[in-house]
């Protein structure tokens, strides 16, 4: 191994250690973890509503569902990213100013300030990506039409949505150290309730 390669490895290790420090100091990981679950949940349920509405409206063109689903996922992603960035930035800068006032010092170039800026980016990315991913998963079956028919794509889409909700429940249970299966089933129950209500409203003769 050349000296240049060794130096690159050292620089990578230093960067990773710095990011770990930033995550720990800013508590960005804990915040991002919570937002990931919340927003993935929102994305899945939102596109579930889109898929159910499209199904009961009698759409036979899978491209309409795909475009509506992807459009919704992109909108959720942009909305989540921008709103989280602005909100987290405001909170972090307020905390920095309070700390500066307490210490009577300019901390804008401090490690604390850098960690705060790092946290803002991490939280914004997670807040935007998680609902987009959750939403995009539900339109995947429609990409295989006409290899499968629209009815089968509809069922697979809802099945994927419920599966994702179950995994989110397992993730939450691991964090809270609760029973994983019970937590997963609770999330599925919310998904089934959403399906039932949206189906009731969207079906012919519905509310």
- The C-alpha atoms of residue 59 and residue 117 are separated, in whole angstroms, by 46
- The C-alpha atoms of residue 78 and residue 72 are separated, in whole angstroms, by 10
- How far apart, in Å, are the Cα atoms of 180 and each of 24, 45, 98, 172? 26, 21, 41, 8
Q: Cβ(32)–Cβ(126) under 8 Å?
A: yes
106, two tokens: 């300019």
pTM here is 0.78
Give the rounded distance of the alpha carbon of 183 from its chain centre.
19
Tens of each residue's pLDDT in the chain, 207 residues: 555 544 554 455 545 566 666 666 667 777 778 788 888 888 899 889 989 988 888 888 889 888 888 888 888 888 888 988 888 888 888 888 887 788 877 777 777 778 888 888 888 888 888 888 888 889 999 999 989 999 999 999 999 999 999 999 998 888 878 888 998 999 999 999 999 999 888 877 655
Q: What residue spans of the chain are helical by DSSP H?
A: 3-26, 28-56, 62-103, 111-139, 150-176, 180-202
Q: Dihedral (C-alpha) 31, 35, 70, 144: value to the nearest 10 degrees? A: 100
62, two tokens: 């899978």
């Amino acid at each position: 191994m050349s000296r240049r390669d060794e130096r690159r490895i050292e620089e990578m290790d230093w960067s990773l250690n710095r990011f770990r420090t930033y995550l720990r100091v800013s508590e960005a990981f804990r915040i991002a973890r919570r937002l990931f679950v919340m927003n993935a949940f929102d994305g899945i349920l939102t596109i579930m509503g889109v898929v159910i509405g499209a199904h009961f409206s009698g759409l036979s063109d899978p491209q309409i569902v795909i475009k509506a689903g992807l459009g919704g996922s992109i909108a959720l992603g942009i909305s989540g990213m921008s709103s989280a960035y602005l909100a987290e930035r405001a909170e972090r800068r307020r905390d920095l100013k309070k700390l500066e006032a307490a210490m009577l010092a300019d901390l804008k170039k401090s490690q604390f300030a850098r960690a705060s800026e790092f946290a803002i980016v991490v939280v914004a990315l997670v807040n935007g990506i998680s609902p987009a991913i959750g939403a995009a998963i539900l339109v995947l079956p429609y990409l295989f039409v006409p290899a499968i028919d629209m009815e089968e794509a509809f069922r697979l889409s809802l099945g994927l949505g419920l599966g994702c909700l179950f995994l989110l429940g397992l993730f939450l249970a691991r964090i809270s150290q609760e029973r994983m299966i019970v937590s997963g089933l609770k999330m599925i129950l919310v998904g089934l309730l959403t399906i039932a209500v949206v189906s009731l409203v969207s079906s012919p003769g519905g509310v």
